Amino acid sequence: MSHVDVRQPEKPPTLTHINATVEPSAGTNNRVRDPYDVRCYLPPPSQKPFRVRKRIAVLGARAVGKSAVAIQCTDNRFEPEYMPTCEDAFLWTTTVDGTKYEVTIVDTDGQDEFPDFGEQYTIGVDGYILMFSLVDESSFHIIRRVHEKLLQTLVVLDPKGTAELPRILVGNQLDMAHTRRVSRQVAQEFADEHGIPYYETSAYTGENVNEVFATLLRIINTNLVNSHKPSENELRPSCEQRESTTTANAPNYCSIQ
């Protein structure tokens, strides 16, 4: 009588055992191999909380404190050394009125009496800070020209959108107000003429810096909401639409000749 091997086959590893041996390791793209050559995939890392992304450009003459204001806003510190900037960008995360924002602050190169704007300052920019120095009268004249040129440039891209263009006029270096050359009244009159807010800031002390950016984000958000609201004229059917509707609903009479 022949001998029959009745040994049971080896049991496969249990899921509990596999999970116990899985350890994440660097450079494996969240994928690891267990001792039994069973590939396991770790769950993806939790996603970042949702943030609204916005892009703000800071315009103005050289040495008015554009970089210093951007650094004060993003890092809460004052950078005393002036470094001429070709173009730089700062990332700022904040919450305004319950909405989380991820803001790119574009620190532009200094403009002069004859500013010229490229696409990087017009396309994809949600709002503008128009900055001058309270202790430099020429910088105020320059920012007036910059504002005029900005509107001329943007009206080509969107003829209807320049009136609602989110922008704020900012007089910087308030900490040196005892030597100011531009009065608050003159700056406020220019801002009122164009229907934009006016703030005076100090990159040195941080006064009103965060308020400027928060206010601009509110303006951007308000304009965005209003742009999606149909006006009364849009809700009211036009004469052509009413005539078309009346014709469509009229009974169809056939004449026999």
- Write out the chain's pLDDT in tens, 257 residues: 555 555 555 555 444 443 444 444 444 444 444 444 434 444 455 555 678 999 999 999 999 999 999 999 999 999 887 676 667 899 999 999 999 999 999 988 877 766 666 666 788 899 999 999 999 999 999 999 999 989 888 887 776 666 678 999 999 999 999 999 999 999 999 999 999 999 999 999 999 999 999 999 999 999 887 765 544 443 444 444 445 444 445 444 433 34
DSSP, collapsed to helix, strand or coil, labels residue 31 as: strand
Q: Are 169 and 197 in contact (CB under 8 A)?
A: yes
**Which sequence spans correspond to the domains of the chain?**
52-224
Tell me how far apart the 2 most distant CA atoms of the chain are, in Å: 116
Burial class (CB in 10 A: 0-12, 13-18, 19+), 121: buried
Arch. (CATH architecture) of 52-224: 3-Layer(aba) Sandwich (3.40)
